[in-house]
Amino acid sequence: MFKANIAAAEQLNRHSDKRSEETFIAEQMNAANTRFIVLVGEKPVIQSSGLGEEGSVRWFSLADLQSYGFPVEQSYFLGTHPSDGGGRFALAITEDLAKTATNAIETMRPAVDLRTLAKNEVLPSEELSTIGMAKALNHWHENARYCGHCGGATEIRDGGWRRVCSPCGRQHFPRTDPVVIMLIVDPSGERCLLGHEARFETNMWSTLAGFIEHGEDIEHAVRRETMEEAGLKIGDVRYHSTQPWPFPHSLMIGCHGIAETSEITIDPKEIQEARWFSRNEILLMLDESHPDGIFVPGKQAIARSLIQSFADGEVV
């Protein structure tokens, strides 16, 4: 089964049972093999030999970051790595700090956004996934500096996996937003539904998707979103796979949905176009050889995995 290149970082041991111990985090931060990812304005600093070439994260030591005067105590603990037993942390800094810190400007570039890195397959999947984890966590911190209950300032704890409100003591934890993403198959089983949204690249078609609302289960969200966006009644809903999606911090829950009706009525507020595609057309789109120049999302997206599953005859 095809798997998207942004996924769970399988190799890291997150030590979620130990990261509430301040001494544990301090030990990991100071361990000899510990390395840091730097996010500059959410973009990871990488090293690459050139455009279109394979690259890797540019890993920094604690001493490197201290020499630039960066606020290392604000780093997030991602886990330890089995290759050398060292810790892996991420530190997010502003573009201004990257430009003005002593001796930093040469090593703080290039900083490239994760979407571009994943789409162009510049980094290995494990590194893309680790960056995704760091980016999602950082986005939560950026929006959790003040307590939603009393408005007081919150402080970082547990290596970045918790914040505590100083005035009222309330605890805040990183949130993941669940999203259903569904490959809909028509009643004959021979065609699947894809849509085109205004925000998509020209000629790109993809599966429908939407946030799960409070009080819904996965099946309900799949049926509601498909009815709202395409006017189709869905019967059977089957789980396929999931993907962490760090834009900003969602979990994509991939499903197959079997349509009971086939007449499409789109909601133009949600989607520009939606139509049925034959298996043959889908194969051409996956291969980027469709005569109309239309194509499906790249290897960074679970949508491709769902579409591939239809092409492979997995949906029956």
Q: Among 40, 45, 131, 165, which residue sits at the site for Zn ion (rule: CB under 5 A)?
A: 165
Rounded to the nearest whole angstrom, what is the least distance from the CB of residue 165 to Zn ion in the complex? 3
- Lookup: tokens for 281: 């057309």
Select 152 or 189, whichever has its Cβ closest to Zn ion.
Answer: 152
Select 173 or 239, whichever has its Cβ closest to Zn ion.
Answer: 173
CB 316 within 8 A of CB 19: no
If one asks whether residue 170 binds Zn ion (CB under 5 A), the answer comes out as yes
Select 85 or 148, whichever has its Cβ closest to Zn ion.
Answer: 148
Select 170 or 279, whichever has its Cβ closest to Zn ion.
Answer: 170
CB 235 within 8 A of CB 260: yes
Rounded to the nearest whole angstrom, what is the least distance from the CB of residue 170 to Zn ion in the complex? 5
Rounded to the nearest whole angstrom, what is the least distance from the CB of residue 161 to Zn ion in the complex? 18
If one asks whether residue 40 binds Zn ion (CB under 5 A), the answer comes out as no
The one segment of 98-106, 125-133, 168-176, 296-304 that binds Zn ion by CB under 5 A: 168-176
- Under rule CB under 5 A, which residues in 128-157 are in contact with Zn ion? 147, 149-150, 152
Select 99 or 149, whichever has its Cβ closest to Zn ion.
Answer: 149
If one asks whether residue 168 binds Zn ion (CB under 5 A), the answer comes out as yes
Select 158 or 229, whichever has its Cβ closest to Zn ion.
Answer: 158
Select 157 or 170, whichever has its Cβ closest to Zn ion.
Answer: 170
Look at the chain and count its residues. 316
CB 207 within 8 A of CB 181: yes
Question: How many residues of this chain bind Zn ion (CB under 5 A)?
Answer: 7
User: Which residues bind to Zn ion, rule: CB under 5 A?
Assistant: 147, 149-150, 152, 165, 168, 170
